[in-house]
Amino acid sequence: MSLSPPESQLAALSLQAISHDSPANNGEWASILAAQGLDHSYELIKVLVFKPKTAKSATVVPIVLIALNDTVAPAGLIAKLVGAKDPRLASADLVAEFFDGLAPCALGPLSINQINATKIKVVLDKALVDSDTKLAFHPSSVDQTVFMSGSEITAYLESIGCDAPVCDFAALATSSASASSKDSTAKKDTKKDSASAKKDGKIDGAALVGITADKELDFPGWYSQIVTKGEMLDYYDVSGCYIMRPASYFVWEQIQDYFNFRIKAMGVQNAYFPMFVSNRVLEKEKDHIEGFAPEVAWVTRAGNSELDEPIAIRPTSETVMYPYYAKWIRSHRDLPLKLNQWNSVVRWEFKHPQPFLRTREFLWQEGHTAHLNFEDANEEVLEILDHYAGIYKDLLAVPVVKGVKTEKEKFAGGLFTTTVEGFIPTTGRGIQGATSHCLGQNFSKMFNISVENPEGADKEKLFAWQNSWGLSTRVIGVCVMVHSDNKGLVLPPRVAQLQSVIVPCGLTVKTTAEDRDAIMANAKSVEKALKAVGIRASADTRDNYSPGWKFANWELRGVPLRLELGPADLKKNQVMAVRRDTGEKIPMPIADLAIAVPALLETIHDDMYNRAKALFDSHIVKVDTWKEFITALNGKNVVLAPWCGEMACEEHIKEKSARKDDGEEEEEEDEKAPSMGAKSLCVPFEQPELLEGTRCVCSGKLATKYTLFGRSY
C-alpha cells in the first residue's frame, strides 16, 4: 500500500476531505480516487484508545494510539512508553466520555483537541510520522475521509499542545535483538529532525534521530537516549550487560593510554590474571569477601559436565592475585611489586542497572602493589589518586573532589580509602569517581606476603604494605551526564573519537558542478590538513544527507567542533567553526586551521572543565546546622558539614536525611534515588578552617573534620 504519487499532487491533497455520502460502494470509491489522481496511493491509519489499570481513587488517563493500520503495537510496550500499567482496549462508554460522545470507529487524529488533550496520553507510530504517502482517516465522523501526511498530523497535535511520544514499533518488531525498549522511546520534538530528514527524503534507516527527553525533566530517559542514540552503547539481551560501541570504547582507550603512561613511569607493570577463582581462595579474606559474596557469579557446568566444585568469576582480584604475591615475594629485594591489569569483572547486582554506572560486567583497571613500608605505600596511594583526578580533569573535563572515605564507606579489609568524588548537577547527586586504597598489612598477613627483615634474620619477619586502586568505565557515564545536553552528547575534545567534522553546505540545485567540486575538494583538503597535525577530523561529503541532518547527527554524537564550508565561505577562504559545547560560531581562515583548530579544541576542553567546575562548586554548600543541611541537600546540593567522625552518627545522618517519595519522574528509574538518605562522600583533603569548638552538624559533639555528604549513585 505504499505507492508514491508525485509530490505536486500530495501538496494539493492536504486536508482534503472526501464525502462518503455520494459514492457508497468500493468500486465508486476507487473510481473517485482515480479521478483525483490518487490511484490507491494512500495508507489507512488506526486510532485506538486504551484504559490503563488505575487505582479506584485515581483519575483514569486513557492512552490513545495513532498508528498505521498495519503496525503491530503491543499493549505492553505502549504501557511502558507512557509509564502505565496493564492497558486494555477502552470501552465505547469511556471513549464517548473523553471524545464528545464519539464511537470508537469514528475516532481520528482530529478528534483530539486542546481540551481532551490534557486528559489523555497520546502515542504516535514512527512509521506513520515518517510516512511519505497520504494517510486516510475519519475526521471525527465515519461519513467522511480526510487525507493528511504524517508531518501534518504531528504538526496538528503540536498546535493543540498535545505532547505525543513517537515509538518505532516496526523496528522493535523486526529487530531480532530484544534489548530494551528505551532506545525506541521518543517524544514529538524529534519531528523537527525527522522533518528535516524527510525533506531530502533519503533517510532509509528506521531509527528515530534526535533526543526527545529533556535532561532537566526526565533525566533517566534523557540519559538512556543520550548513550544509545549518541552510539556510545547499546542495550544487550542479558540484563545488566551493555555493549560498548566504538565511541565509548575509544574514550576508554584514551584513558588507558593516559594512565598506562603514568603508572609505567612509576614502575608499575601490566599483567593478566585469570577471571576464575576457586571458592577456597575467594573465601580466604572474610571481611573482604562478605561485601562481594551476594554478587558473585558461579560457573557450575562446562559443556554437559557438572564441575566438581563451582568456580567464581572474579568480582575483584585481591584473592586471585595475593597467593602469587606470597609466592613471588621472598626477599625485601622483591619489593615493591607493582602490577596492574586491564580486565573485566562481574558483580551480579540485583539493583536497577544503569549504562556505565552500574553494570553486571564492567571494564576497569585494578592495580595491586606491595611495599616494604607504610610510607612508600602511602605515597603511591596519593600519586595514583592524582592520576585519577587527572583522568577526570585532563581527559574528561570533569571536576572532582579528592578526599578520604570514612570508616563506614572505606574498602572492607583495607586500612583507608582515598577517593575522587564527582557530582551530577542535574540530579544533585554525588558519584564516586575512582578509589585508591591503602590495604595496610591486613591482606599480607592473611596471605602471608612477608619477607625476612632486612635488618637481620633474627628480627621479626615483615609483612608487606599493600595498596589496590581501580577506575572503571563508570567514568564515561559521569562524563556523559555532566556535559551532554538536549541536542545529544557533548564529548570533551581529548577523548572524542572524531574531534572535528567538516560539513559542506549551501549547495543547491543551482550550484554549478564546478562550485560543488571545489567545496568537496576543499572539505577533503581541510580534513587532510587537520589530520596532518594530529586532529581526528573527517569531511562528511555524503550527498544523501542534507547539511541540516548532518549538523543534527554530529551534534547528537557529540563532535566537539563542526566546520561548515559553503560557497560564501570558500570565497572568503574561510570556514565557519561551530562549537558543540556553546553553539558559538567563529569564522576561521582556512590557512590558519592547522593552528586555530587545535587551539580551539584546547579552549573547548578548558571551558567545559571550568563551567563544570563552577557548577560543582556552586553546589557544594557549606553548612553549620542540621536545618541548613537538609535544605541544602533537598536543593540538589552536596553538603560540606562539620562532623564528629563517628560511625553511629553517620548512620543517623543517613536515616534522618531520607525523605518520602516526592513524585519525581526519576522514581521509575531508580526508586531509591530522591528519597535516599545522605551518605558521606569523603572527607576532602582541602578543608575549610575548622574553628575551635565547632560542633558536629548531627551529633552535636565536637567536630573533627568538614565532611562532604550527599545523595549519591
Enumerate residues 317-356 that contact its own copies by CB under 8 A.
Answer: 323-324, 326-328, 330-331, 333-334, 339, 343-344, 346, 348, 350
Among 277, 519, 523, 703, binds its own copies (CB under 8 A): 277
Task: Give the residue with the Cβ less far from its own copies, 245 or 659.
Answer: 245
Is 491 a residue that touches its own copies (CB under 8 A)? no
Strands 337-346 and 361-371: antiparallel
Among 6, 37, 310, 534, binds its own copies (CB under 8 A): 310
Is 9 a residue that touches its own copies (CB under 8 A)? no
Near its own copies by CB under 8 A, which window of 9-17, 85-93, 201-209, 582-590? 201-209
Is 294 a residue that touches its own copies (CB under 8 A)? yes
Report the alpha-carbon angle 705-707-713, nearest 5: 160
Near its own copies by CB under 8 A, which window of 127-135, 270-278, 514-522, 661-669? 270-278
Minimal distance in Å, beta carbon 486 to its own copies?
A: 24
Looking up cell 579474606 gives 285
Beta carbons of 400 and 389 less than 8 angstroms apart: yes
Is 296 a residue that touches its own copies (CB under 8 A)? yes
Hey, which residues between 110 and 149 contact its own copies (CB under 8 A)?
none
Minimal distance in Å, beta carbon 552 to its own copies?
A: 17
Hey, which residues between 531 and 590 contact its own copies (CB under 8 A)?
542, 544
The Cα–Cα gap between 574 and 125 comes to: 43
Is 528 a residue that touches its own copies (CB under 8 A)? no
User: What is the grid cell recorded at 618?
Assistant: 556552586
Minimal distance in Å, beta carbon 705 to its own copies?
A: 36
Task: Give the residue with the Cβ less far from its own copies, 538 or 680.
Answer: 538
The Cα–Cα gap between 501 and 550 comes to: 10
DSSP structural state of residue 702: B
Is 394 a residue that touches its own copies (CB under 8 A)? no
Task: Give the residue with the Cβ less far from its own copies, 44 or 293.
Answer: 293
Task: Give the residue with the Cβ less far from its own copies, 250 or 423.
Answer: 250
Measure CA of the first residue to CA of the last residue in the chain; give whole Å. Answer: 50
Minimal distance in Å, beta carbon 172 to its own copies?
A: 10
Q: How many CA atoms lie within 13 A of 294 on its CB side?
A: 5
- Nearest CA among 371, 364, 380 for reference residue 436: 380
The Cα–Cα gap between 84 and 429 comes to: 27
Is 205 a residue that touches its own copies (CB under 8 A)? yes
Look at residue 389 and give its three-state secondary structure.
helix
Task: Give the residue with the Cβ less far from its own copies, 253 or 407.
Answer: 253
517 Cβ contact partners less than 8 Å away, ≥ 6 residues apart: none
Task: Give the residue with the Cβ less far from its own copies, 99 or 252.
Answer: 252
Among 15, 92, 177, 382, binds its own copies (CB under 8 A): 177
**CB atoms closer than 10 angstroms to residue 586:** 14
Minimal distance in Å, beta carbon 253 to its own copies?
A: 7
Taking CA atoms, 352 is separated from 295, 334, 668, in Å, by 14, 44, 10
Task: Give the residue with the Cβ less far from its own copies, 450 or 657.
Answer: 450
Cβ-in-10-Å burial (0-12, 13-18, 19+) of 126 comes to buried
Task: Give the residue with the Cβ less far from its own copies, 271 or 382.
Answer: 271
Beta carbons of 663 and 676 less than 8 angstroms apart: no
Task: Give the residue with the Cβ less far from its own copies, 531 or 572.
Answer: 531
Which long-range contacts link 547-553 to residues 24+ away (Cβ below 8 Å)? 547/503, 547/504, 547/505, 547/506, 547/507, 548/196, 548/199, 549/193, 549/196, 549/197, 549/200, 549/203, 549/209, 550/501, 550/503, 551/503, 551/578, 552/193, 552/196, 552/209, 552/210, 552/487, 553/209
Minimal distance in Å, beta carbon 359 to its own copies?
A: 9
Among 141, 144, 278, 426, binds its own copies (CB under 8 A): 278
Minimal distance in Å, beta carbon 690 to its own copies?
A: 42
Is 265 a residue that touches its own copies (CB under 8 A)? no
Among 101, 161, 303, 663, binds its own copies (CB under 8 A): 303
Near its own copies by CB under 8 A, which window of 140-148, 170-178, 191-199, 675-683? 170-178
Beta carbons of 119 and 82 less than 8 angstroms apart: no
- Nearest CA among 260, 232, 218, 482 for reference residue 356: 232
Task: Give the residue with the Cβ less far from its own copies, 2 or 573.
Answer: 2
Task: Give the residue with the Cβ less far from its own copies, 263 or 401.
Answer: 263
Cβ-in-10-Å burial (0-12, 13-18, 19+) of 343 comes to middle
Among 144, 270, 634, 704, binds its own copies (CB under 8 A): 270
Among 189, 200, 376, 452, binds its own copies (CB under 8 A): 452
Among 61, 79, 94, 179, binds its own copies (CB under 8 A): 179
Hey, which residues between 68 and 87 contact its own copies (CB under 8 A)?
none
Minimal distance in Å, beta carbon 556 to its own copies?
A: 15
Task: Give the residue with the Cβ less far from its own copies, 342 or 416.
Answer: 342
Minimal distance in Å, beta carbon 197 to its own copies?
A: 13
Alpha helices, DSSP H only, in 619-693? 626-634, 647-657
Hey, which residues between 228 and 257 contact its own copies (CB under 8 A)?
234, 236-238, 241-246, 249-250, 252-253
Minimal distance in Å, beta carbon 488 to its own copies?
A: 18
Among 299, 595, 599, 648, binds its own copies (CB under 8 A): 299
Beta carbons of 362 and 475 less than 8 angstroms apart: no
Minimal distance in Å, beta carbon 392 to its own copies?
A: 21
Look at residue 105 and give its three-state secondary structure.
helix
Task: Give the residue with the Cβ less far from its own copies, 40 or 202.
Answer: 202
Is 272 a residue that touches its own copies (CB under 8 A)? yes
Task: Give the residue with the Cβ less far from its own copies, 276 or 685.
Answer: 276
Minimal distance in Å, beta carbon 339 to its own copies?
A: 7
Is 447 a residue that touches its own copies (CB under 8 A)? yes
Question: What is the 3-state secondary structure of 572-631?
Answer: CCEEEEEECCCCCEEEEEHHHHHHHHHHHHHHHHHHHHHHHHHHHHHCEEECCCHHHHHH
Minimal distance in Å, beta carbon 64 to its own copies?
A: 29
Is 445 a residue that touches its own copies (CB under 8 A)? no
The Cα–Cα gap between 280 and 229 comes to: 44
Phi and psi, residue 443, nearest 5°: -70, -40
Among 8, 25, 300, 508, binds its own copies (CB under 8 A): 300
User: Does residue 336 have a cis bond before it (omega within 30 degrees)?
Assistant: yes
Is 302 a residue that touches its own copies (CB under 8 A)? yes
The Cα–Cα gap between 702 and 323 comes to: 44
Task: Give the residue with the Cβ less far from its own copies, 203 or 395.
Answer: 203
Count residues near its own copies (CB under 8 A). 73
Is 3 a residue that touches its own copies (CB under 8 A)? no
> What is the C-alpha R_g of the chain?
31
Hey, which residues between 592 and 651 contact its own copies (CB under 8 A)?
none
How would DSSP label each residue in 364-377?
EEEEEEEESSHHHH
How would DSSP label each residue in 507-521?
--TTS-HHHHHHHHH
- Nearest CA among 203, 183, 405, 408 for reference residue 291: 408
Strands 620-622 and 561-565: unpaired
Near its own copies by CB under 8 A, which window of 199-207, 365-373, 652-660, 699-707? 199-207
